[in-house]
Amino acid sequence: MNDTPLEPAAAPYAGFTPEQVLDALDALGFRPDGRLLALNSYENRVFQLGIEDAAPVVVKVYRPGRWSDAAIAEEHAFVAELIEREIPVAAPLVLTLPEPMPRFDGRPPLAVTLNAGATLATIDGFRYAVFPRCIGRAPELEQPETLEWMGRFMGRIHAVGKLSRFESRPSIDIDTYGRGPRDWLLAHGCIPDELREAWVSTLGHALDRVAACYERAGDVSTLRLHGDCHAGNVLWNDRGDPPGPCFVDFDDARMGPAMQDLWMLLSGDRAAMTIQLSDVLAGYEDFCDFDRRELHLVEALRTLRLIHYSAWLAQRWTDAAFPAAFPWFGSVKYWQDRILELREQIALMDEPPLVV
């Protein structure tokens, strides 16, 4: 299922309450003790729950209508492959259906359906996955040894990602992250009238430069990716088993070029990114070959993400969490800033690629 729908879902979590999470976990046999903490997530609803006589768990309630069951199963299967190879990732627990217990309020037990892998439960129309709680801090990406360490694990993830393909998940490319979001924003009147012509023209030039970057790169291969590998989706634990990074939240896993998971670890000016990418690749290429032609895609992929992000916000505006968290979205100034941002990206895409 493509996550660029023709229409935004109407308030997908309307009426959803934390009590439903407690009831769902109880129906799955976890016996929550009432401690519930909402974690920082906008795409889905994610909670940490205390469990009687056991370690806390993290529960993801998938956004209705975004992914099909088959697409979620592919995410879970990919993560399971990584776990089999002892790569530190947060993997959903295999669920079981205990004997239904009468509820204290007198209502009948909840009806629970598990998918074929038993890692996804559907309860009262919402889909749940349960994860062990992972502890860690943000990685120190300014440290060369941290980047090399991250590169080693990313190389291992990509080596597994090359073994097969996603069939139910879309790819990251100029259509899904560029032209599709552009068309959706225009069709739904998201651009202020006074800026529409400038935005359309600038975005058109940006997509032309993205296409030119892909043409220079040539026929690069695609593989199964994390898809959203920024520092917020990595937990670093110096005393873990093993110590180092744990990669979490494969919700955006897709097909795409390897560079998609690497450029998000880079920041600063051209000189700084060159050094950082060299450190990452020093570890990455211990486990996975890297096609240097993908260096042409760094700024192209960054540009596509910026375009996709605006459409992502617009498509979810009926979810009350979004206007509260992003009050600046949709203003004239917001779109003026996006036009300037795209113009900067056009200039960057015309520069020679990084050399590492």
Residue 286 among the catalytic residues: no
Q: In 3-state terms, what secondary structure has residue 93? A: coil
Helices (H), 243-290: 259-262, 270-284
| Cα–Cα distance measured from residue 246 to residue 139, given in angstroms and rounded to the nearest whole number | 10
pLDDT for 7: 47
Cα–Cα distances in angstroms (integers) from residue 145 to residues 158, 213, 244, 279, 284, in the given order: 20, 30, 11, 8, 12
Least Cα distance to 102 among 169, 27, 16, 213 occurs for 27
Question: Using omega within 30 degrees of 0 as the cis cutoff, is the peptide bond preceding 8 cis?
Answer: no
Weakly modelled stretches of the chain, pLDDT under 50: 1-2, 4-8
Residue 238 among the catalytic residues: no
Query: How confident is the model over 195-215, as pLDDT tens digits?
Result: 999 999 999 999 999 999 999
Show the beta-strand stretches assigned E in the chain.
32-38, 45-51, 54-61, 112-114, 121-123, 126-132, 223-224, 234-237, 244-247, 255-256
Question: What is the signed CA dihedral for 306, 74, 234, 179, rounded to 10 degrees?
Answer: 0
Residue of 23, 228, 251, 319 marked catalytic? 228
Global pTM value: 0.92
| Cα–Cα distance measured from residue 153 to residue 227, given in angstroms and rounded to the nearest whole number | 15
Question: Interior CA angle at 142 toward 136 and 147, to 5°?
Answer: 70
pLDDT for 9: 56
pLDDT for 109: 75
pLDDT for 90: 95
Q: Tell me how far the alpha carbon of residue 319 is from its chain's centroid.
A: 18
| Cα–Cα distance measured from residue 187 to residue 183, given in angstroms and rounded to the nearest whole number | 6
Residue of 3, 173, 249, 279 marked catalytic? 249
pLDDT for 2: 43
List the domains of the chain with CATH numbers: 18-132 (3.30.200.70), 144-349 (1.10.510.10)
Contact 326, 244 (CB under 8 A): no
Question: What is the signed CA dihedral for 41, 310, 2, 254, rounded to 10 degrees?
Answer: -70
